[in-house]
Amino acid sequence: MAWYEKWAIMVIAAAIGVAGYNGIPWEKMDVAIWAYWVGAIGSIGSIAGAYFLGERQARASLHMIVNADKLAAHRKGKAILAVTNAVQANAFQAMRAFYDDGFDYLILTLNYDAVITRSLIEALANIPVHELGSYNAVAAFLRIRTAMGHFQKHVQRCMDQVESARDKESGAVKNGQLFDVISIRMCMEDIIESNKVLIREVETMEVA
C-alpha cells in the first residue's frame, strides 16, 4: 500500500470518528453502553492491527522471494561467466602467435588446442542464454559465442594453409593469411569487450 493510501485511510477514519463523536448523546450514556463501546473499539483496533501486521508480513515475504530470484540469477550468471572466461583465456593463448600482419606457426601449434576450442564452442552453444535475464547480458553473450566461432574458423584456416603449403621452416607466414589474421584480432577484441559487459551485468544481479 502506498503512503498516500494510508494517509487517506487515516483521514477518513478521523472524519468518521469526529462525526461519530458529535452524533453520540453523551448525556444518555450509562455504564452498560460504555462497556459496549469499549468492546467495539477494541475489536476495531484488533482488526486494524491484524491488517497492518499481515501487510508487513506480505511485504517481507515478497522481498524474500525477489532476493531468492536475484540470488538464483546471480549464481547462473557466475556459472556462465566461468565458461566465457575460459573462452577468453583460450583465445589469449592462441593470440600469442599472432602479430600485425602474420603469425608464427610453431608458437600457434604450441598454444592452440583445437579440441579444447571445439569443446568451449559446444559449451557456449548449450548454455540457456535466456537465464541471464538482461538484454545487455544476452547480447554480450551472443557476441562472444559468434566471435568465438569465427575465431576458431580463421585460426584453423591459417593452420591449414601453412600445412597445405608445407612451408613451416620459415616460421612466420605473411602472405595469403592477412585477412584471417585481421579477422582473428577483431574476434579477440570482441570477445574481450563483450566479456567485460557480461561481467558488469552479472555483478548487478547481486542480492541487495
Amino acid at residue number 104: D
> What is the average per-residue pLDDT within 116-144?
91
Q: Where are the alpha helices (DSSP H) in the chain?
A: 3-23, 31-95, 105-111, 114-126, 135-165, 178-203
Q: What is the mean pLDDT of residues 15-29?
A: 64
pTM of the predicted protein model: 0.64
Q: Where are the alpha helices (DSSP H) in 96-177?
A: 105-111, 114-126, 135-165
- Give residue 98's pLDDT: 86
42-45-51 Cα angle (round to 5): 145
pLDDT, position 82? 92
**DSSP structure class, residue 99:** E
Q: In the predicted model, what is the mean pLDDT of the chain?
A: 79
Residue 176 per-residue DSSP state: S
Please answer whether residues 198 and 141 qualify as being in contact, where contact means their C-beta atoms are separated by less than 8 angstroms. Answer: yes
pLDDT in tens, 101-112: 778 888 888 889
The boundaries of every CATH 1.20.120 domain in the chain are 70-203
Q: What is the pLDDT of residue 147?
A: 96
Tell me the average pLDDT across 129-143. 89
Task: Kindly report, residue by residue over 36-93, the tens digit of the pLDDT.
Answer: 666 777 777 777 676 667 667 767 666 676 667 677 777 888 889 999 999 999 999 9
Strand 102-104 to 98-99 pairing: antiparallel
Q: What's the CA dihedral at 150, 156, 158, 161 to 10 degrees?
A: -130
Cα 206 to Cα 202: distance, rounded to the nearest angstrom: 8
The C-alpha cell of 110 is what?
604450441
For residue 120, pLDDT over 60 is answered with: yes
The CA-based angle 25-28-29, given to 5 degrees, is 90
Phi, psi of 30 (to 5 degrees): -115, -175
Fold category of 70-203 in CATH: Four Helix Bundle (Hemerythrin (Met), subunit A) (1.20.120)
- Cα separations in angstroms, 181 against 69, 88, 94, 185: 43, 17, 12, 6
CA distance 90 to 113: 8
> Which pLDDT does position 171 carry in this prediction?
46
